[in-house]
Amino acid sequence: MLSNTKILAIDPGYGRLGIAVLENTSLLYSDCFETSKELSHGERLKALGQELQKVIKKYKPEVLAIEKLFWGSNAKTALAVAEARGVILYEASCANLIIREFSPAEIKIAVTGHGRSTKVQIIKMIPKIITISKEIKHDDEYDAIAIGLTCEATRFIENS
């Protein structure tokens, strides 16, 4: 990866999508995009795709960093997130982004140094690594930032 690579980091979700854009550990943008429960399933997926198109067009990232799907106990939720990931991967592929996927443990290790860190520990560590000049209301946004930081940290390993 190039030294000034822009990373689009996504915490995949169906109802809420954490989004962050980073460049050299500088946070250029972050948000938690929410889809309305009033929309049909297909309309919610379409809204996710349209939001990603806007972010990609505005920030012109070269890389998509995304969390690997974790299969929890709720299969219905996991399937909806898998479908959202499909939309995300499709949009990234259409924009010719390099796709990097990270497991939850890899993200925890990159941000806190420990693979079993709690969400609270991750949230407390992120402002020590990167300047955040806005209020963050949802942990999905913090998760996206953590995914972007993981991608940024691992790119040096890849190039050595």
Please report, to the nearest 10 degrees, the dihedral formed by the alpha carbons of residues 73, 117, 124, 3 taken in order: -100
Question: Exactly one of 31, 51, 91, 140 is catalytic; which is it?
Answer: 140
Tell me if residue 31 is catalytic: no
Mean pLDDT, the chain, whole residue set:
92
What's the pTM value of the predicted model, to 2 decimals? 0.93
For every residue of 96-119, DSSP letters joined together read T-EEEEE-HHHHHHHHHS-TT--H
Query: Percentage of the chain surpassing pLDDT 70?
Result: 93
Mean pLDDT of 116-130: 95
Least confident range of 4-18, 39-53, 72-86, 134-148? 72-86
3 pLDDT band, cuts 50/70/90, is low
Tell me if residue 11 is catalytic: yes
Residue 19, CA distances (Å) to 40, 113, 159 in order: 22, 23, 26
Tell me if residue 38 is catalytic: no
Helix spans in the chain (H) = 41-59, 75-94, 104-112, 119-129, 139-158
- pLDDT of residue 154 exceeding 70, the answer is yes
Mean pLDDT of 50-61: 98
Interval 90-119: pLDDT, tens:
999 999 999 999 999 999 999 999 999 999
Question: Exactly one of 31, 51, 67, 143 is catalytic; which is it?
Answer: 67
CA atoms within 13 A on the CB side of 19: 23
H or E stretch at 7? strand 6-11
Q: Return the CATH fold of 6-158.
A: Nucleotidyltransferase; domain 5 (3.30.420)
